[in-house]
Amino acid sequence: MERLLIIDGHSYAYRAFHAIRELHSPSGQPTNAIYGFIKMLGKLRATVVPTHWIVVWDGGLSAERLAALPEYKAQRPEMPDDMRPQLDEMVSYLEAARIASFCRDGIEADDVIACLARRAEKMNWMTVIASADKDFMQLVTARVGLLNPHDKTEAIWTDEQVRNKTGVEPSQIVDWLSLTGDNVDNIPGVPGVGPKTAAGLLNQFGSTEKLFSRLDEVKSEKLRAALVNSREAVKRNRELVRLHEVACEFSREEMAVKALDKARLHELYSRWGFKTLLAALEESVLRERQAALI
């Protein structure tokens, strides 16, 4: 069965950047994020064993979301100076490793990842999304799982893990986040409504739509007043949190796991000064030559 691994590129790039603080090429260029990124991709491949894989990069913020909430993700700091030049080098690595990569201006990676996962599900593929972004919990189904790098068990999350984490079903995640808000994306929630309160409301009413149609059944007067005052904000939040349908190419051939371009990788590893990776690459080339002689 086809198994698609979708990797949230910027998420892993930043994770790699902060995991390894000091590493430079022979020419003095920073390479810490590149090295960490390569090692993380190798670990992901060993864990998931995909038949197809792709790294998806952010192409900027959604104009639609910014129109709805100008403060959307506005609190995020600028990319570190040492990080920016390493992104292009990561793409060079992906090209040499023959791993599909996707980025389109003005389209957020989350929406592209959702598009690819939905396409794969319609084709009865299994899909694993590698990301720490909680928005992806809304995509979890019998054929779509999550691999959260913060989860040390390295388990592929199903609806069970989503319920354990949030108290609600994957199909309720959009409503759950609409009530709680999301500090990471600078989306304000209903005052006084945290994860447990939101889960309790959704377990009682099923959805925010039904909740607002039956507000008189909310026992707490303070909570009921907060919900009344936040009705429009929750409606807006649903559109901010919900992963949108966007145009995305779904090419089986492009995403298929392929043989490495070892000559190109040798050139890159040498330039970056990755001696351990270079030695492992040279050893694999030698084994291939010996096998060809048998």
pLDDT at 37: 98
Which residues, listed in sequence order, are joined to residue 188 by a DSSP beta bridge? Answer: 181
The total number of structural domains that make up the chain: 2
Kindly state whether residue 293 falls inside one of the protein's structural domains. Answer: no
For the chain (length 294 residues), average pLDDT per consecutive 10? 96 95 95 98 96 96 94 91 95 98 94 96 96 96 95 92 96 98 95 97 97 96 97 97 88 94 97 96 88 75
Which pLDDT does position 245 carry in this prediction? Answer: 86
Q: Output the pLDDT for position 287.
A: 86
Beta bridge partners of 30: 24
Residues 113 and 191 in one domain: no
Domain residues for the domain of 180 are 170-241
Query: What is d(CA 64, CA 246) in angstroms, rounded to the nearest whole number?
Result: 12
CATH number of the domain encompassing residue 191: 1.10.150.20
Task: Give the end-to-end CA distance of the chain in Å, rounded to a whole number.
Answer: 33
Q: Which two tokens stand for residue 200?
A: 């309790």
Domain containing residue 139: CATH number: 3.40.50.1010
- Residue 17 resides in a domain: yes
Residue 140's pLDDT is 98
134 and 73 in a common domain:
yes
Q: Is 81 exposed, middle or buried (0-12, 13-18, 19+ CB in 10 A)?
A: exposed
- pLDDT at residue 59, rounded to an integer: 93
Coil/strand/helix, residue 75: coil
| pTM of the predicted structure, to 2 decimals | 0.94
